Amino acid sequence: MDSDYNEINRAVNMKQLYQEEPCILLDEKKIKSLLHCNNLSIALLEKTESTNDYFKDPAHKSKKPAVCIAEMQTQGRGRLGRPWHSPFGQNIYLSLHYPIQKDISKLLGLSLVIALAISKAIDNSCALPELTLVKWPNDIIAQDKKLSGTLIEMEAESHGVSHLIIGIAINVNMEEASKRHITQPWVSLRQLTSSYHDRNPLCAELLNQVLLYLEKFMAEGLAIFIKEWHSKDYLFHRQVSLKSNAAIIKGVGSGINQHGQLILTLPDGSEHAFSSGDTMLMKK
Q: Which residue ranges make up the site for ligand BTN (CB under 6 A)?
A: 50-52, 73, 76-79, 82, 84, 93-95, 139, 149-151, 167-169
Least distance from ligand BTN to the Cβ atom of residue 92, Å: 8
Least distance from ligand BTN to the Cβ atom of residue 50, Å: 3
User: Among residues 96 and 222, whose Cβ is nearest to ligand BTN?
Assistant: 96
User: Among residues 152 and 252, whose Cβ is nearest to ligand BTN?
Assistant: 152
User: Among residues 114 and 263, whose Cβ is nearest to ligand BTN?
Assistant: 114
Least distance from ligand BTN to the Cβ atom of residue 3, Å: 26
Least distance from ligand BTN to the Cβ atom of residue 19, Å: 26
Residues 6+ apart with CB under 8 A from 140: 115, 118, 119, 122, 132, 133, 134, 146, 147, 148, 149, 170
User: Among residues 134 and 252, whose Cβ is nearest to ligand BTN?
Assistant: 134
Least distance from ligand BTN to the Cβ atom of residue 271, Å: 27
User: Among residues 204 and 252, whose Cβ is nearest to ligand BTN?
Assistant: 204
- 32: exposed, middle or buried (C-beta count within 10 Å: 0-12, 13-18, 19+)? middle
Least distance from ligand BTN to the Cβ atom of residue 91, Å: 8
User: Among residues 182 and 212, whose Cβ is nearest to ligand BTN?
Assistant: 182
Which residue's Cβ lies closest to ligand BTN? Answer: 149
Residues 6+ apart with CB under 8 A from 270: none
Strand order in the sheet with 66-70: 41-45, 66-70, 92-100, 162-170, 145-156, 139-142, 133-135
**How far is 50 from 263, CA to CA, in rounded Å?**
33
